[in-house]
Amino acid sequence: MNKPHSLYIGLMSGTSLDGIDAVLAKIGPNGETNAQAAVSTPFSLELRKALIELQTSSPNELHREKQAGNALAIAYADAVSQLLKKANLQPSDIAAIGAHGQTIRHQPHLGDMAYTHQTLNPALLAEKTGVDVIADFRSRDLAAGGHGAPLVPAFHAQQFTSSENLAILNIGGIANLTLLPKDGPVTGFDCGPGNMLMDAWIEKHQGNSYDENGAWALQGKVNEALLQLMLSDSFFSKAPPKSTGRDDFHLAWLQEKIGNSNHHAEDVQATLLHLTAHAALEALARHAPQTQKLIICGGGARNSALMNLLQVKAQYFFKKPIEITTSDSAGIDPQLVEGLAFAWLAWAHKEKRPANLPAVTGAKGPRILGACYPA
């Protein structure tokens, strides 16, 4: 007899550091995943500041990291409580929570000494919610020689099917691609900065946390020399498997590229918008020139200027028409895809199914991901 559907919660707080996406998912016996309800809660200014300050080494880091892990568990528990209330459910209705935590370091290039760290106190989250918590999804893949990222391509492969050569582009703080050729293996990799540098630049110059619909970028002019200088970063030409994060792309990286040049701030923003679109499409054209359809998810799917630019640049990179849509067209809110993926990863852990894709992360083999903190 088929096992019935179960309810899982996915909790994602990504590299944009904008807050928490909590998604309730109904997951079937073969991992078929459907969103039932969602809440998004912004970080408090205090927690956001604490998490940002942990991205660079600074005094008494260990204490502050543990404090941030507790504060994040409390904020996650609050998001779960709001979600349960919204869906009219009890903790006992939920099979498990998949909690990503907050990446504050990602160092996959150190051989046996490689590590990635997602801050979170999962024990406290289990205690506060009364639900089993699965966390620390990346470290087992790293231990097996992989990057521990990106993990979502396996979920994309399960969720987005097509009779065409399909690719998924997630544009979060960092951008990553999943390649789903109709007759070939699934691959994927991080392709560069998504919204992160644009967010950092507008925050510095205008005090806004993001450039809504790229309106400020559209007031500027692309600086081709600066764009080429940024694109000369060795990350872009590296062959997959590859992953990146705030360790590589940050405001200091941008300042170094700008040097002593006197650019108008809005021209830099326009150039960053082009950097995100160019890096993603250049990588897509190089690794999957046969792509027929591109689905965009992540917060960047809501940036109309970025969506328009992707359409325009796709003509240049592919020289043939490519259908570009957001994941809304497949019935999934672009900003919930990663949250849903972490619900699915919790399901895979409970079912003892390996969930990494060695072809994506570079791990020696398939591994069961995550560690369980029973309620």
Ligand X SMILES: Nc1ncnc2c1ncn2[C@@H]1O[C@H](COP(=O)(O)OP(=O)(O)OP(=O)(O)O)[C@@H](O)[C@H]1O
Residue 213 contacts which entry, ligand AH0, ligand X, none (Cβ below 5-8 A, type-dependent): ligand X
Q: Judged by CB under 6 A, does residue 361 bind ligand AH0? A: no
247 among the known binding-site residues? no
Q: How far apart are CA 272 and CA 253, in angstroms?
A: 12
Q: How far apart are CA 183 and CA 190, in angstroms?
A: 22
By beta-carbon proximity to ligand X, the closer residue of 43 and 317 is: 43
Q: Judged by CB under 6 A, does residue 14 bind ligand X? A: yes
Q: Which stretch binds ligand AH0 (CB under 6 A): 51-59, 166-174, 213-221, 280-288?
A: 166-174
By beta-carbon proximity to ligand AH0, the closer residue of 152 and 222 is: 152
Q: Judged by CB under 6 A, does residue 173 bind ligand X? A: yes
Closest distance of CB 235 from ligand X, Å: 15
Q: Which stretch binds ligand X (CB under 6 A): 91-99, 193-201, 258-266, 279-287?
A: 193-201
Q: How far apart are CA 290 and CA 313, in angstroms?
A: 16
Q: How far apart are CA 141 and CA 209, in angstroms?
A: 33
Q: Judged by CB under 6 A, does residue 199 bind ligand X? A: yes
Q: Which stretch binds ligand AH0 (CB under 6 A): 169-177, 195-203, 215-223, 362-370?
A: 169-177
User: 219 near 202, Cβ under 8 Å?
Assistant: no
Residue 70 has phi, psi (to 5 degrees) of -70, -45
Q: Judged by CB under 6 A, does residue 170 bind ligand X? A: yes
User: 151 near 345, Cβ under 8 Å?
Assistant: yes
The secondary element (H helix, E strand) that includes residue 133 is: strand 133-135
Q: Judged by CB under 6 A, does residue 146 bind ligand X? A: no
Q: Which of 335, 343, 360, 362 binds ligand X (CB under 6 A)?
A: 335
Tell me how many degrees the CA angle 287-288-291 measures, rounded to the nearest 5. 160
Residue with tokens 């640049």: 313
Q: How far apart are CA 172 and CA 356, in angstroms?
A: 20
Q: Judged by CB under 6 A, does residue 10 bind ligand AH0? A: no
Q: Which stretch binds ligand X (CB under 6 A): 51-59, 209-217, 310-318, 359-367?
A: 209-217
Q: Which of 15, 33, 223, 356 binds ligand AH0 (CB under 6 A)?
A: 15
Residues 6+ apart with CB under 8 A from 225: none
21 among the known binding-site residues? yes
Burial annotation 123-132 (CB, 10 A radius, 16+ → b, else e): ebbbebbebb
Q: Which stretch binds ligand X (CB under 6 A): 13-21, 115-123, 325-333, 362-370?
A: 13-21
Please, which of residues 15-44 interact with ligand X by CB under 6 A? 15-16, 18
User: 217 near 211, Cβ under 8 Å?
Assistant: yes
Residue with tokens 């591109």: 294
Q: How far apart are CA 319 and CA 284, in angstroms?
A: 13
Q: Judged by CB under 6 A, does residue 150 bind ligand AH0? A: yes
Q: How far apart are CA 17 and CA 47, in angstroms?
A: 10
Residue set of the binding site: 14-21
Interface residue list for ligand X (CB under 6 A): 12, 14-16, 18, 170, 172-174, 194-195, 199, 210-213, 298-300, 302-303, 335, 338
Q: Residues annotated in the binding site for ATP, as ranges?
A: 14-21
Binding-site ranges for ligand AH0 (CB under 6 A): 14-15, 103, 106, 116, 149-152, 172-174, 176, 190, 243, 245, 338
